[in-house]
Amino acid sequence: MRVRRAAIPILTMLAFAVPAPAFAVPPPPPKPSDQEVQDSKADRDAKAGKVGELTSKLADAESKLVELQAVVEVKMEDANKALVDLDTARDVAAKARADAAAAKQEADASSAAIEKVHKDVDDFAAASFRQGSTVGSMTAFFGATSPKDLLDRAAFLNAVSGSQLDALDRMQRARVEQANKDSRARAALNLAAEKQAEAESAKRAADRATAIAEQARRDQAGEAAQIEAFREQTEKELAEAQAKVGGLESQLQRYQEWQRAKQREDEERAKAAAAAAQRPGTGAKPSRPAPGRPPISGGAAAVVIARAISQLGVPYAWGGGNANGPTRGIRDGGVADSFGDYAKVGFDCSGLMIYAFAGVGIKLPHYSGYQAKAGRQLPLSQMAPGDMLFWATGGRIHHVALYIGNGQMVEAPYSGSRVRITSVRYGGLVPYVTRLL
């Protein structure tokens, strides 16, 4: 590097005699303007604020999504209950139809028997009339041609009164009884038909409500996904803005460091020039400075839990699962169908409980609301492995899981998922456990 000319005239001839400093300052780096740095920081702060706003919106959207998922689960469990009730109503209706058919058959048989007795009596009456007598009348004895004829007529009348007429009376009573039974059976059949129609209507209503709730959940999920995408893009822009600010600040720092180094160099050269001017033989060529050195620089509960855990990874299938294991899911006309549950073999939440407790001979209905009432209800503070946990929204149970200890549970969560072990969720958890063991 060439040495600058000294500003003092007396040192002009000594310029090449001044020894170079022990370091050399490179050319100055570009210096960003204060306005550039200020604008960059403002842009960074604006994007940081936008990220915060979007993060808050995303948190709200995800909270709403959790609430809507709970609502969907409630509706799906309503559909489960409606399906169980519909199956029960169909069974009752089938039995009522069978009872009505049997009652009608008995009534018809009674009527046929009565008709036969009537015919026998009619035949006797006709014969008696031809003989000049009337059944049950004393005139039947008049006109007898001989004592033997009189005795025959008396015997015949006694037989009729003691047998056929009594039988006719019994048959009449039996027919009335059978008619009453037939009437009761038909009334039961009508009631069962009404209950079945109500159950079918409830199932359709539950399916519609489930579909509406799932559509709302999908819409909310779409909104959350959009917010997440916007946030990711804004975070990327924020990172770029931070890098820009950091780059400008680093560039400014390097420039300031260069300024300080240049100032030190100028001071060293001035000192060296002043010292050289005071030494004799200033025209002598100084020796080259030495190069600088680089810087140094058990029991029933265990059986139940084991059976549930043995199904980890099995797909969720709405309506799936029985005492023997996973089964094909069923159509619900909404959420489960959109995930293809009817084509999967797996469990829903209550189906997994059915399978788990079947290992110790306990039979459960395929509806979490009924399962919650299947045993003793104890406070959460008494939670023990093998207890069932339930979640509710608006006081209505919509999900069940099996507590396995150490704050963990096994569950079949929702359509699109699989049987899993997870930590107990306390949001929406009802304040009791149901113990069957």
- Domain locations in the chain as residue ranges: 49-229, 300-435
Q: Which of 331, 304, 335, 334 is nearest to 320 (CA)?
A: 331
Q: Are 85 and 369 in contact (CB under 8 A)?
A: no
Cα-based angle 131, 134, 140 (whole degrees, multiple of 5) = 65
Q: What number of residues does the chain have? A: 437
Q: Which one of the listed residues 106, 214, 366, 399 is annotated catalytic?
A: 399
80 vs 350: CA distance, rounded Å: 9
Query: What's the Cα-to-Cα distance from 362 to each of 300, 354, 356, rounded to whole Å?
Result: 11, 8, 9
For residues 153 and 98, the model is more confident at: 98
| pLDDT of amino acid 288 | 40
Q: Give 84-135 pLDDT, tens digit per residue.
A: 987 888 888 888 888 878 877 877 777 777 777 677 666 665 665 555 544 4
394: Cβ contacts below 8 Å, ≥ 6 apart: 74
For residue 300, pLDDT beyond 90: yes
| pLDDT of amino acid 214 | 79
Least confident of 12-26, 260-274, 345-359, 386-400: 12-26
Q: Are 86 and 196 in contact (CB under 8 A)?
A: yes
Q: Give 210-260 pLDDT, tens digit per residue.
A: 888 778 878 878 877 888 787 788 777 777 777 777 777 777 777 777 777
40 vs 33: CA distance, rounded Å: 11
285 vs 237: CA distance, rounded Å: 59
Report DSSP state, residue 146.
Answer: S
| pLDDT of amino acid 126 | 64
For residue 21, pLDDT beyond 60: no
Tokens of 208: 């519609």
| pLDDT of amino acid 323 | 97
| pLDDT of amino acid 53 | 78
| pLDDT of amino acid 401 | 98
For residues 380 and 335, the model is more confident at: 380
For residues 169 and 23, the model is more confident at: 169
Q: Are 18 and 273 in contact (CB under 8 A)?
A: yes
HSE toward the beta carbon, residue 219, CA cutoff 13 A: 7
Superfamily of domain 300-435: endopeptidase domain like (from Nostoc punctiforme) (3.90.1720.10)
Q: What's the whole-number mean pLDDT along residues 151-177?
A: 66
Q: Report the mean per-residue pLDDT for the chain.
A: 77
For residue 408, pLDDT beyond 90: yes
Least confident of 38-42, 155-159, 289-293: 289-293
Local confidence band at 302 (pLDDT 50, 70, 90 cut-offs)? very high
For residue 290, pLDDT beyond 50: no
End-to-end CA distance of the chain: 92
Can you say how many angstroms the Cα of residue 157 is from the centroid of all Cα atoms in its chain? 82
Q: Are 435 and 378 in contact (CB under 8 A)?
A: yes
Local confidence band at 37 (pLDDT 50, 70, 90 cut-offs)? confident
Tokens of 192: 């069962």
For residue 338, pLDDT beyond 60: yes
Tokens of 317: 């299938």
For residue 16, pLDDT beyond 70: no
398 catalytic? Reply is no
| pLDDT of amino acid 18 | 42
| pLDDT of amino acid 287 | 39
Angle, to 10 degrees, between the axis of helix 349-358 and the axis of helix 300-309?
130
For residues 244 and 430, the model is more confident at: 430
76 vs 416: CA distance, rounded Å: 14
| pLDDT of amino acid 266 | 64
Question: Which pTM was predicted?
Answer: 0.51
363: Cβ contacts below 8 Å, ≥ 6 apart: 323, 354, 357
HSE toward the beta carbon, residue 143, CA cutoff 13 A: 11
310 vs 411: CA distance, rounded Å: 12
- In percent, the amount of the chain with pLDDT more than 90 equals 28
Q: Where does residue 346 rank: exposed (0-12), middle (13-18), buried (19+ CB within 10 A)? A: buried
Q: What's the whole-number mean pLDDT along residues 342-351?
A: 96
Query: What's the Cα-to-Cα distance from 115 to each of 61, 124, 126, 269, rounded to whole Å?
Result: 79, 14, 16, 144
Q: Which of 19, 26, 28, 22 is nearest to 294 (CA)?
A: 22
For residue 8, pLDDT beyond 60: no
For residue 2, pLDDT beyond 60: no
Query: What's the Cα-to-Cα distance from 302 to each of 79, 137, 308, 347, 403, rounded to whole Å?
Result: 31, 86, 10, 20, 11
Superfamily of domain 49-229: Helix Hairpins (1.10.287.620)
Query: What's the Cα-to-Cα distance from 308 to each of 301, 378, 380, 409, 426, rounded to whole Å?
Result: 11, 22, 21, 10, 21
Q: Which one of the listed residues 77, 349, 366, 398 is annotated catalytic?
A: 349
349 catalytic? Reply is yes
Q: Give 54-84 pLDDT, tens digit per residue.
A: 777 778 777 777 887 888 888 788 878 888 9
84 by DSSP, 3-state: which? helix
